[in-house]
Amino acid sequence: MNAKKIILFFLIVLFFTVSCKQADEPPGENARLKVVATIFPLYDFARNIGGDKIKVTMLLPPSSDPHHYELKPDDIIRIGKTNVFLFTSFEMEPWARKVIDTVADKKNMLAVETGQGALFLPLPQHHEHHSGNPSGLKENNADHAAKADPHIWLDFDNAQKMIDNITKAFILKDPINSLFYEKNARDYKFRLIDLDKKYREQLSNCKTRTILHAGHWAFAYPAKRYRLQYMAAYNISTDAEPSPQQILALIEKIKDQKLPYIYYEDLAAPRLAATIASETGAGLLKLSNGQDISKKDILNGISFVSLMERNLENLKKGMQCP
Amino acid sequence: MPVVRVDNLTFRYNGIDVLSNISFAVEKGLYLGIVGPNGSGKSTLIKNILGILRPEKGRVELFGRPLSDFRQWERIGYLPQRLSALNTHFPGTVEEIIQMGLSKKNQDTLTRTLKMMAIAHLGSRLIGELSYGEQQRAMLARALIRRPELLIFDEPTTALDPETREMFYSLTGEMNQQEGTTVILVTHDIGVIGEYARNLLYLDKKVIFSGTFKEFCSSRDMAGIFGPSSQHIICHQHDRTGGTI
Amino acid sequence: MDLMEVMRYGFVQRAMIAGVLIAAVSALLGMFLVLRRFSLIGDGLAHTTFGSVAVVLLIGISPLYVTVAALPLVIISSLAIYKLTSSRKINADSAIGIISSLGIAAGVVLASLSGGYNVDLFSYLFGNILTVNNTELILAFIVFVMVLAVVVYFYDDLFALTFDQELACSMGINTGRINILLFLLTAVAAVLAMKVAGIMLVSAMLILPALTALQMSMSFRKTLIAAVGFAVGSVLCGIIIAFMLNLPAGAMIVLLNICFLSAVFVVKKLYVPRR
């Protein structure tokens, strides 16, 4: 029977996949500090601070959504065996609490909320039927206290705070190498300060000052920091349809300000961006939120700093900065 | 050339023989009654003849051609025993049903057929809204509208009101006698057959009897199977409508 | 919100045209499916598309060709549903349930093998009618022409087949061939419609306009036309209302379909004398 054969085939595939996953780590890794980071920015920070004294893995597979991530049974075991578990915040990864509670060996594992002490911006409220205002425009002027915007690492001051939290954790767990960690952290922070300076200078004199983003709300932090206007098509949840009036608002804004470029995010096929672009003749530029990384990018050795540099190039181009 | 010819037909369902080595032929102009107890395979036989079911063994010929090569389906009018799940809300008017599959739809022919079946007033009603008797009339109209050379009816008059029954038999009797239409009538009620059919096929998974009604009534073997009193009743009935015995 | 202004945008026009084409296709195919008790097939095929897309993405086919690459698996599933049902051992709804669960489960396993849910995978489930591009519009048009041609050319056969399959067989209609054609077209229509409008919309547009038209107890021809009419109306009005009220277009279209259905039902109860 057709159906039976298909079921059998998939069961066999499943069996082989599961057994193959039991591949153990090669011996000799026990000397290094074991670190698990949830998303790419944390992973990259950890990599830079820890160097070859740690072994860090990224929990979330590339191209997955951290907010809705479903823990696999493997994951809890893996995190349990680790020394340091890095996550952004309970806002960003609400399931982190579950992990921490479930992990067997709490003595061994240190969970680090890397976003502690960072400056959080609230998420915008959804404006509906504003009479004066073209309704639905989500500008970065949230008036009511709402949930927090999790993309804190895009503010380089916050990033530095996160570096500090990670360094503290490494030192706690591996005091022998504390000087090593501290030096790396210092060096990395300088790179971030330098990056910040470049952003500030190069974005100071642009023709337009609007980041029009046909994607999910993510760039409030750099927008605030560098005094730019930011407009996004969707709010955070990945599966919402953009509201029709919001699409119109974005199109009208582009036409009003004669914006030559519109930004799209990585990974999600830029359908909305393409639609808006075809309607306005605007060009498309990619803007990375630091966390949506494709498998290809990781293989190509992408780093947080290089992503932010790429962003800067595209911001300059899009906003026509000298 | 027989209108229908069946050779050594065997049909199996779930490994059990429902029909076993059936052979018979129906010549043009015959009025054949196929009878047998419930579960004897009568409907199955019809479905095998019409190509609805495929037999394990044997062959069927329609109008001299093997079933697999047969294409002239307008020569056959079929009234099935039971419409599979007739939904009362099936969006089909009586007119649409009757003209189902007709390549040339002629309004006059339709009106004539509707009148003939005394359902002219029901033309634009949904088939599902009709009473059972009216539905059967519509289905008969559908079978007859092409003026087919062969009519096959599977238990057409069970649970029908007397008027419809009467209409049914007189119409088909007329067509058989005046136009030479071949009729195959399947029923489990042997008494009914006796009144109209001249030929008889008694089926109980195998052919028990095949021949004229006259032969059936004078057969000693049949007396043996049914008992002489039953045989007498059946054949006596036939006598009443003016048949010869 | 000025309606005329909204209609001037290219993307709104594309959405309406694509929507209308998909609505017509779904209503036509849906009528035959609903009458033969295959109402849930839209949902079932949506689940299968999920699984097929997961397979395709796992293999690593470029996103541009995913739709086309996923088609064969969905067609096979559709035909599998048909085969399971025609064997008489399994009901239509059970067959759909089997294939549908298989599709989802396979999709989940494969997605996790390829390392988590690709956002592209989700776009198949949640499509968006407001972001139709020209390629999809052309595809929608091609599918529309195909389905229309088949329905017109095989109208009598389809009618007979839908009324009573055995009867159709006795009329010399090649029921096997027509069935395969029907299920094949349904698979194609479902995949394309899903990419543009999302599962929710596809299943709804397969069933609801047909059900609404069926309430009106008209001839087959009129019922088909009415179904298409309701489907088209729900898309056009749905998109307009979505803009006016700033609500998701897809959901609005589905809600309108339900409104039509309720309205017809109520009118029937009130105005048609009980026999």
What pLDDT, in 10s, does the model give residues B205-241? 888 888 888 888 787 777 777 777 777 766 765 554 5
C87 touching chain B per CB within 8 A: no
Residue A181, min C-alpha distance to chain C (Å): 31
Say yes or no for a CB contact (<8 Å) between B101 and C214: no
> Do the strands A84-87 and A33-37 form a parallel or antiparallel pair, or are they unpaired?
parallel
Measured between beta carbons, the chain C residues lying within 8 angstroms of B135 are none
Among A58, A275, A292, pick the best mutation site for testing chain C contact (most C Cβ within 10 A). A275
Q: Are A125 and A142 in contact (CB under 8 A)?
A: yes
Residue C175, C-beta contacts closer than 8 angstroms, at least 6 positions apart: C161, C165, C168, C169
Q: Are A169 and A304 in contact (CB under 8 A)?
A: no
Residue with tokens 């092409």: B146
| pLDDT over 70 percentage in chain C | 93
Give the amino acid at C80.
A
- CA B113: distance to chain centroid? 19
The sign of the torsion formed by the CA atoms of A38, A44, A49, A54 equals positive
Q: Is C211 an 8 Å CB contact of chain B?
A: no
Confidence category of residue A74, pLDDT binned at 50, 70, 90: confident
pLDDT recorded at residue B181: 93
Strand (E) or helix (H) holding A60:
none
pLDDT at B123: 85
Least confident of A286-290, C212-216, C235-239: A286-290
Cβ–Cβ < 8 Å for A137, A180: no
Q: How far apart are CA A165 and CA A179, in angstroms?
A: 15
pLDDT bin (cut points 50, 70, 90) of residue A48 is very high
Question: Would strands A283-287 and B182-187 be described as parallel, antiparallel, or unpaired?
Answer: unpaired
Nearest CA in chain C to B84: C164
Mean local confidence (pLDDT), A72-93: 85
User: What confidence score (pLDDT) does residue A28 get?
Assistant: 45
Does the pLDDT at position A129 exceed 70?
no
pLDDT number for residue C69: 81
Counting residues of chain A whose pLDDT is more than 70, the rounded percentage is 83
Residue ranges of chain A whose CB lies within 8 Å of a chain C CB: 1-3, 6-7, 10, 13-14, 17, 60-65, 69, 72, 128-129, 135-136, 238-248, 251, 267-269, 271-272, 274-276, 278-279, 292, 295
Inter-chain CB proximity A271 and C117 less than 8 Å: no
A10: nearest CB among C106, C120, C130: C106
H/E element, B22: strand B16-26
Cα–Cα distance, A37 to A290 (Å, whole number) = 14
Residue B15: predicted pLDDT: 83
Q: Which of B157, B150, B197 is nearest to B4 (CA)?
A: B150
φ, ψ for residue B234 (rounded to 5)? -60, -50
Question: Does position A133 have pLDDT exceeding 50, yes or no?
Answer: no
For residue C232, what pLDDT is reported? 96
- Binned at pLDDT 50, 70 and 90, residue A141 comes out as very low
Could you give the percent of chain B with pLDDT greater than 90?
33
Cα A229 from chain centre: 20
Which of B84-98, B102-116, C209-223 has the highest average model confidence (pLDDT)? C209-223
Least confident residue range of A14-18, A34-38, A303-307:
A14-18
Q: Domains (ranges, CATH) in chain C?
A: 3-265 (1.10.3470.10)
- pLDDT at position C213 is 96
C-beta of residue A85 within 8 angstroms of C-beta of residue A111: yes
Closest CA to C99 of C158, C56, C28, C38: C38
The per-residue pLDDT for A272 is 85
CB within 8 Å of C274: residues ≥ 6 apart: none
pLDDT band at residue A43 using 50, 70 and 90 as cut-offs: very high
B165, with CB counted inside 10 A (0-12, 13-18, 19+), is: middle
Average pLDDT over residues A282-287: 91
Q: Which of B237, B212, C104 is nearest to A10 (CA)?
A: C104
At residue C62, does pLDDT exceed 50?
Answer: yes
Query: Strands of B57-62's sheet, edge to edge?
Result: B16-26, B4-13, B57-62, B65-66
Q: Which of residues 139-158 of C touch B (CB under 8 A)?
A: 156-157
Given a contact as 3+ CB pairs under 8 Å, which chains touch B? C
Between these two residues, C154 and B37, which has the higher pLDDT value? Answer: C154
Q: Tell me whether strands B4-13 and B57-62 are parallel, antiparallel or unpaired.
A: antiparallel
Task: Identify any residues that bridge with B25 across adjacent strands, giving them in sequence order.
Answer: B5
pLDDT of res. A258: 87
Flag whether residue B100 sits within 8 Å of chain C, measured between CB atoms.
Answer: yes
The pLDDT-based confidence of C274 (bands split at 50, 70, 90) is: low
Contact A13 C109 (CB under 8 A): yes
| pLDDT beyond 70 at B200 | yes
Instruction: Tell me what the pLDDT averaged over chain C comes to.
Output: 87
DSSP 8-state secondary structure symbol assigned to residue C247: -
Amino acid identity of residue C181, one-letter, is L
pLDDT in the model for residue A298 = 76
CB contact under 8 A, C123 and A238: no
pLDDT tens string C40-57: 888 888 888 888 888 887
Confidence of residue A139 (pLDDT cuts 50, 70, 90): very low
pLDDT at A239 over 60: no
The fold for domain B4-86+148-240 equals Rossmann fold (3.40.50)
Of B86, B87, B92, the CB nearest to C220: B92
pLDDT score at C35: 92
DSSP A171-191: HHH-GGGHHHHHHHHHHHHHH
**Which of A64-78, B93-107, B163-177 is predicted least confidently?**
A64-78
Q: What pLDDT score does C216 carry?
A: 92
State pTM to two decimals. 0.82
Please, what is the Cα angle at A90 between A89 and A96, to 5 degrees? 105
- B–C interface: beta-carbon pairs under 8 A: 72
* Among B155, B109, B160, B154, CA closest to B137: B160
pLDDT tier at A16 (50, 70, 90 boundaries)? low
A38 CB-side CA count, 13 A: 26
- Please return the burial class of A299, using the count of CB atoms within 10 Å of its CB with bins 0-12, 13-18 and 19+: exposed
Q: What is the pLDDT of residue B87?
A: 67
State the average pLDDT for chain B: 85
Pick C170 or C65 by higher pLDDT. C170
Give chain A positions within 8 Å (CB) of C6: 248
Q: Which pLDDT value is given to residue C124?
A: 67
ipTM over 0.90: no
Q: Is A124 helix (H, G, I), strand (E, B) or coil?
A: coil
Between C132 and C224, the higher pLDDT residue: C224
Tokens for A184, please give them. 């790396």
Please check whether residue C236 is in contact with residue A126, taking contact to mean a CB–CB distance below 8 angstroms: no
CB count within 10 Å of CB B28 equals 14
CA nearest to C1, candidates C211, C274, C239: C239
State the average pLDDT for chain A: 81
Residues in contact with C170: Cβ distance below 8 Å, sequence separation at least 6, in sequence order: B50, B51, B52, B73, B76, B78, B80
Q: What is the mean pLDDT of residues A211-226?
A: 89
What residue type is A234 in one-letter code? Y
**DSSP track, C159-185:** HHHHH-HHHHHHTT--HHHHHHHHHHH
Q: Which pair of tokens denotes residue A20? A: 């193959």
Residues B13-54: tens digit of each pLDDT: 888 888 999 999 999 999 999 988 888 889 999 999 999 999
Taking CA atoms, what residue in C is nearest to A15? C109
Domains of chain A from N-terminus onward: 204-318 (3.40.50.1980)
The verdict on a CB contact (< 8 Å) between B92 and C163 is yes
* pLDDT the model gives residue A35: 92
**A295: nearest CA partner in chain C:** C115
Predicted pLDDT at C161: 93
Q: How far is CA C97 from CA C35, C39, C90, C124, in A?
A: 18, 12, 11, 20
Give yes or no for residue B244 having a pLDDT over 50: no
Name the helix (H) or strand (E) containing C211: helix C199-214
